[in-house]
Amino acid sequence: MRKIKNLEYSDGKILLLDQTRLPLREEYIVTDDYERIAEAIEKLEIRGAPAIGLAAAFACALSLRNIEQNHESEFRKAVERLRKTRPTAVNLFWALDRMENKFRKCTEIENVYESLIEEAEQIFEEDRQMCERIAGNGLQLFSKVSRVLTHCNTGALVSGGGGTAFYIIQKAFESGLVDHVYADETRPLLQGSRLTAYELDKSGIPFSIITDSSAAFVMKYVGIDLIVVGADRIALNGDTANKIGTYNLAVLAKYHNVPFYIAAPSSTIDKNCFNGNSIDIEFRSGDEIRTINGHLVTRPDFNAYSPAFDITPNELISGIITEENLFKPPYKF
């Protein structure tokens, strides 16, 4: 298995694997420009809730790399730009808040950049460790060799480590507990068929890509033992925002008596959000529905409705796995 290098900081620059090119090409973005990192987040060249938080943390630091004065002005400008990139994943705002707190504590102006880089690297290392603990806690889900279904993408491409839901699946496979994985293609941007399949292939895990609309058929006629997906924001009552189509999957799982789990770091829990009604849902361009890989599949003038996320009510969730524990309902974080 070849390790996936998703995000790396070295010699004053950040390296990002361009996920819009996967799985057909592995191309990297190398930059020290926070504006370019902000664009990469907006364009989904870097994506996944933990990963965009990590990228934003390094972008905050890099905003001061070649600045000798007006540190406050430049830093604030960068933070505000990054806050406007994507609204739903709370990890982005958690990371930016942490970088702002670090900036306020920097008293020696000449060391501000180095201090911020150290903080970003600390966030990166903490995320890596959280991935390990999430995977360890997630092994509790498996009591036998299982067929697993997952949605969107939750592996090394979304984090500083092995990922969240995908990493649970990977560790379970390595322990002989996973027989086969069914990966929803995850329309409209195909994070499942492009990215999760890419990671499954690199991990040597037997898998099949399915259309999102095939999930009920697979549950009924193939048999799924459990479903595990990631999250972009979790409310205090357990309501969870994740990639569009997750809510559909949870409803189907309830009907077919398939356990449905969420895996995410505790930084994805929004302590200021009491329930899913408070979560801001990002809407994307209708061109993401009208086109596939830049090619029109319907008329360009047809209207399209394109929410990027949906909210799964807590009563449909069998458990939420974080680096701290496997939580069962009722959820009280």
State the catalytic residues.
232
Q: CA-based angle 95:99:100, to the nearest 5?
A: 115
Q: How far apart are CA 170 and CA 173, in angstroms?
A: 5
* Residue 55: closest CA among 100, 16, 11, 85: 16
**Length of the chain counted residue by residue:** 333
> SS3 of 100, please?
helix
CB crowding 23-47: b at 16 or more within 10 Å, else e = beeeeebebbebebbbbbbeebbbb
Write out the DSSP string of 198-253: HHHHHHT--EEEE-GGGHHHIIIII--SEEEE--SEE-TTS-EEEETTHHHHHHHH
Asked whether 126 and 120 are in contact (CB, 8 A), the reply is no
Residue 262 DSSP SS3: strand
Other Cβ atoms closer than 10 A to 328? 11
- Strand 240-243's sheet: what is its strand order? 233-234, 240-243, 309-312
The CA R_g of the chain, rounded to the nearest whole Å, is 20
Give the 3-state secondary structure of residue 36.
Answer: helix
DSSP conformational letter for 257 = T
- Residues 326, 312 contacting (CB under 8 angstroms): no
Tokens of 303: 């209207």
